[in-house]
Chains A and B, each alone.
Chain A
């Protein structure tokens, strides 16, 4: 149990376009979802925390107008990178947790490359 999926697994886009990444909890209700960014050979950096039906809480230094997060249902959260630029290229990982879960369960990640 506790499976989290992400789609797409990798995406290449042109600078200035927007990209949407989906995170789904497949077998449990995710009351809280987290979005992380991971740079090469670095740890995970928490970008934002979202509770179902509420606005996301962004970490300091993360632009909420650039990284739009929606958590409209108990099984789906989306991260939209708006007007993407090459410096947004990274590995984005989501995680999810819910009532009775003992930890966050992570998705497989999405590799974003902005040309």
Chain B
């Protein structure tokens, strides 16, 4: 089946930039998403990108997509302690079809 891979853990200092990487295998992926999950909570949609885009920026968040290599990244500028959470990469072949999730990257931001 289709697969989405992420590194499991990232630790950064407050104020630094964080880059979370994700690779996927489905060449028919149309939508790629980043979700944030805080402890004991559901998933919050952070941002998404269509497969015909290379980059999307939304305030402190920048998503880069390399469709050829099937590589997606999320950059968080000026990372804050409140950004500490688990970040999930997900892909779908249409906007509301079945999502395939990565296992999540735990981001720990230290003061």
* A-B interaction: yes
List chain B residues, Cβ under 8 A from A104.
96, 99
Q: Measured between alpha carbons, how far is A34 from B42 in the docked complex, in Å?
A: 13
- Whether the pair B103, A102 counts as a contact (CB closer than 8 A) is no
List chain A residues, Cβ under 8 A from B43.
44, 93, 95, 106
What mask results when residues 20 to 64 of chain B are scored 1 for a CB within 8 Å of chain A, else 0? 000000000001010100001111110010000000000000000
Q: In residues 13-46 of chain A, which contact B (Cβ within 8 Å)?
A: 32, 34, 42-44, 46
- Whether the pair B42, A106 counts as a contact (CB closer than 8 A) is yes
Q: How far is the CB of A26 from chain B (nearest CB, A)?
A: 14
Chain A: interface residue total (CB-CB under 8 A): 23
Q: Which residue of B lies closest to A10 (CB)?
A: B40
List chain B residues, Cβ under 8 A from A46.
98-99
Q: Measured between alpha carbons, how far is A44 from B35 in the docked complex, in Å?
A: 12
Q: Which residue of A lies closest to B89 (CB)?
A: A43
Q: Measured between alpha carbons, how far is A40 from B3 in the docked complex, in Å?
A: 20
Q: How far is the CB of A96 from chain B (nearest CB, A)?
A: 9
9 contacts between A and B (CB under 8 A): A43-B101, A43-B103, A44-B101, A93-B42, A102-B95, A103-B48, A103-B95, A104-B96, A108-B42
Interface residues of A (CB under 8 A from B): 4, 6, 32, 34, 42-44, 46, 49, 93, 95, 97-98, 101-109, 111
